[in-house]
Homo-oligomer: A and B are copies of this chain.
């Protein structure tokens, strides 16, 4: 199961009760953060998941409201006792930008490792593994290079005792094979697929900010259990303004959710000029009914589907 929390939902400007847009995921005791604006460590502390198990930080792009909290967070993670490396993922140049920001945090008790991603075409998807996480990435359409992310939890097939018996697999190996281990015994290699049925549907969460809608997004987010998407403004009348700044309004996010056939949409990255996003939620729900207005520390635990 995958825990997700929107630790901030504000665009551009941190407000007292709305931190800057970011999300955190937790899987098997490991945390992944997407973006880290000013104050992210404060709301993360409020969330109560701790700091030490932060294994991966993904950056969407290099605007201040998505990055400035990094040095403070890294120092706090250091104070939590962490000594294991942290992997930082982002557009090409992320290593240099992080190095510059960390001028005020030059010494950390752990290593930073970088994965820089470049997209030649807007329809290209990249898959990568960092820490416990299987991640997909897509190029977005913002005023600078910007990345949308997907988090994926694979699910093995069901244990199939008949299949195991048919292949004469010793019963004492069943447990280890079922857990995904391969075992060599008496000169024969046993692999998990010998005792498992076909792979089952896993979990998929997609996170898309800051961008205009793109033609690649419906496929990138397709079938997501949760689609977290920016909506700078709720009112459709603000669409030209949103487009001018390479952002979306709620109805555009909802249209993507519908096109991608996702299960649920959470809106985020609100303009500081919009104090009550709920007021405009109907602009999303009339297009995609399972739309919700995200708020700081809105949290969900996503389980595997029953099958």
Contacts and interface: CB of A to CB of B under 8 A. Distances in A.
A62 B105 CA distance: 9
Interface stretch (A11-19, A132-140, A256-264, A274-282): A11-19
A21 to B, nearest CB: 13
B69 A38 contact: yes
Interface string A86-115: 000000000011001101110000000000
A101 B96 CA distance: 12
B42 A104 contact: no
Tier of interface size on chain A: 20 to 34
B104 A97 contact: yes
Most B Cβ at <10 Å: residue of A12, A41, A67, A103: A103
A150 interface: no
Given A14-B42, A39-B39, A72-B38, A64 B104 contact: yes
Given A38-B38, A38-B39, A45-B15, A68 B64 contact: no
Nearest to A69: B38
A79 B103 CA distance: 26
A65 B16 CA distance: 18
Interface of A: 12-16, 37-39, 41-42, 45-46, 62-65, 67-69, 71-72, 75-76, 79, 96-97, 100-101, 103-105
Chain A to chain B: the 8 pairs with minimum beta-carbon distance, closest first: A64-B104, A100-B103, A100-B100, A38-B72, A64-B71, A64-B105, A67-B104, A39-B39
